[in-house]
């Protein structure tokens, strides 16, 4: 799935908080990935289609340094990542084995990957930060992935931070974390998200001017009428 420049630009102006509200109104409650926090403060809001990778618990005959040379490895998966994607990695919330380090992240930058999102952790944190690859994760740890995880594949449905992620679902990441937009809901979020942001900006302005919250947030009929008039 290609994400148009227009869609990327629009989503970059919609907070993850707003997206969760818009999707909640459609009955989707579980779209925020637990444990995926910005590794570096101040990262801009980023948008991209999900490129999925999956780990399972470590098994001693498979999770070895030699496995890094296997055709089914994180190294091979990185070479399949398309430009502009967000790599979303299911690490099962394991926080004592780093899934990627500085070398792998540097290669992702060369591949044009937008960001790395995982419910696990990275290693070589100083080097990872030095690559300038935007990373959302649950921290960092010195041991390599094979100390606690076995890599099993990419390009398939995964669970990341308790959220079901399918390849090419849309991921939006900002300081509040990472949210998933199902492909079928993209147009809805593009339309309703812009309106939600406009409405909340108007409400904030009313609050700054001294308005009380009851009847304003949420709006009663009178406030809705005033808001509608403000858009004309």
Answer yes or no: is 103 a known binding residue.
yes
Answer yes or no: is 40 a known binding residue.
no
Phi, psi at 230, each rounded to 5°: -70, -20
Answer yes or no: is 102 a known binding residue.
yes
Answer yes or no: is 13 a known binding residue.
no
Answer yes or no: is 29 a known binding residue.
no
Answer yes or no: is 124 a known binding residue.
yes
Can you say which residues are annotated as belonging to the binding site for substrate?
Answer: 101-104, 123
Please enumerate, by residue number, every residue annotated as part of a binding site for Mg(2+). Answer: 124
Binding residue numbers: 101-104, 123-124
């Amino acid at each position: 799935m290609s994400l148009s420049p227009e869609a990327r630009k629009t989503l970059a102006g919609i907070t993850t908080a707003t997206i969760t509200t818009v999707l909640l109104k459609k009955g989707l409650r579980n779209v925020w990935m637990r444990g995926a926090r910005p590794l570096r403060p101040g990262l801009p809001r980023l948008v991209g289609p999900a490129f999925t990778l999956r780990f399972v618990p470590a098994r001693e005959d498979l999770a070895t340094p030699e496995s890094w040379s296997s055709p089914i490895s994180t190294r091979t998966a990185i070479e399949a990542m398309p430009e502009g994607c967000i790599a979303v990695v299911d690490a099962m919330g394991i926080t004592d084995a780093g899934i990627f380090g500085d070398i792998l992240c540097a290669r992702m930058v060369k591949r044009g990957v937008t960001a790395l999102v995982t419910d696990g952790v990275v290693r070589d944190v100083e080097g990872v930060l030095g690559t300038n690859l935007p990373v959302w994760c649950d921290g960092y740890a010195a041991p390599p992935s094979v100390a606690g995880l076995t890599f099993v594949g990419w390009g398939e449905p995964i669970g990341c931070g308790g959220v079901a992620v399918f390849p090419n679902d849309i991921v939006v990441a900002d300081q509040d974390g990472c949210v998933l937009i199902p492909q079928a809901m993209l147009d809805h979020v593009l339309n309703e998200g812009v309106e939600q942001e406009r409405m909340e900006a108007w409400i904030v302005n009313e609050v700054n001017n001294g308005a009380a919250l009851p009847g304003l947030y949420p709006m009663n009929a009178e406030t809705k009428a005033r808001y509608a008039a403000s858009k004309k």
